[in-house]
Structure formats: structure tokens, C-alpha cells
A and B are shown apart, each in its own frame.
Chain A
């Protein structure tokens, strides 16, 4: 079973910041938080990942709470092309840990 819980859908106005929450209350110390997105019927695309520090790259920012039980993916200036399903995944460092996707959050960017 997926180790994360996400809202099924969210709306965001174009040009505004999209904040996508993820709950992973049973996360272990050796587990990373990964975010992927799937645009229409394409294969999912990696966005960002982190362990406990906040992370930022050219696509997004990842904010992980101090207790690591939840995180937020931030798309700073959402565009229509960011309309997609966003998946939050928890995966351990060890090689054999499976990568399990949950149902994700369907983000609608409104013009």
C-alpha cells in the first residue's frame, strides 16, 4: 500500500503559487520523499525529492515539516502546462524498497 495520503484534487489560478500537500505520518528515518507528475496519459516525470531539508530546483520547491510527517510541493508560478496529476512517494534508501505510487492529486490550473 502507498505510504502517503494526498487530496484527490485541487484548483489553482494561473500565475499563483500551487501548494500541494502530502501526508506521510509513518515515514521512517531512512525514507526520502519524492514527487512526480503525470501530464495527461504520458509517463510520470520526476520533479524533486528530499530527506529532511527543504529543496528547490528549476521546477519546484519541496517543504518538509520538522517532524517529517508531511510535506508540501510548491509550484511558484503555476501555468496551464502544470495541469497534471501529482504523486507524492516515500522510498527508503535501500535498493530493494519498492516504489509505490498512490492515487495522487489532480491539479487543475484555472485561466
Chain B
């Protein structure tokens, strides 16, 4: 199993450009998450999806949109990139059972906005 796969691994954008970060999981998990991590900082939740067809805002949703395309895929879109969005982006998934919700993370996308 590949687990959680993120593409691309690296991306450089100019201010104002748009792009979509892709995330797919093959573990049949219901919940998926997008986090960002700035240098030397902890992870901050951008958006999450508790189940297919639902999405909800996290701590820092401004400037982002998400799509839960199906159970496997959860994409993050930057409509007009800004330098403040330079960060490492992590996608994660979990299988909610109520008593055990382990997160499985992808390897991250390093995004630089110039």
C-alpha cells in the first residue's frame, strides 16, 4: 500500500498564480486533512473532511479552497498565491472509529511563493 500520496513534492509559484495540491489515500479512510507547517513551527489545520461530501474550515482557511472529490482524494487549491503561503503542506487521513483515530500523513509538498 502507498498510504497517503501527495503531489507535487516541490513547487515554486509567482505571486498571484494558482495551483492545486493533490492528495490521495488508499486505506479507505473516511477523514482527510490538510495542514501547513511554516519553518520552525507546528502544524496548523487548513481544512478537513470528516467524510466524503463534507468539508470544514480549520485554523487557517483563508486563501484556500478544498474539494473532496471522492473517498480517496482531497485536493487543496490556492486561487491567488501569496508569499505568506510559502510553507510545507501535509495531507493526512484517518479512519474514525470513535476510540482510535490515528492520522497517517503524506510526505509533504514544499511550496515557495515568490
Chain A interface residues toward B at CB < 8 A: 1-2, 32, 34, 36, 41-46, 49, 51, 85, 87, 91, 93-96, 98-104
Contacts and interface: CB of A to CB of B under 8 A. Distances in A.
Interface of B: 4, 30-31, 33, 35, 41-45, 48, 50-51, 56, 58-59, 88, 90, 92, 94, 96, 98-108
Given A41-B108, A95-B50, A96-B50, A101 B45 contact: yes
A80 B106 CA distance: 24
A96 B59 contact: no
A85 B37 CA distance: 13
Given A101-B42, A101-B45, A93 B98 contact: yes
A87 B42 contact: yes
Contacts of B94: 99
Contact of B42 (A93, A94, A96, A103): A103
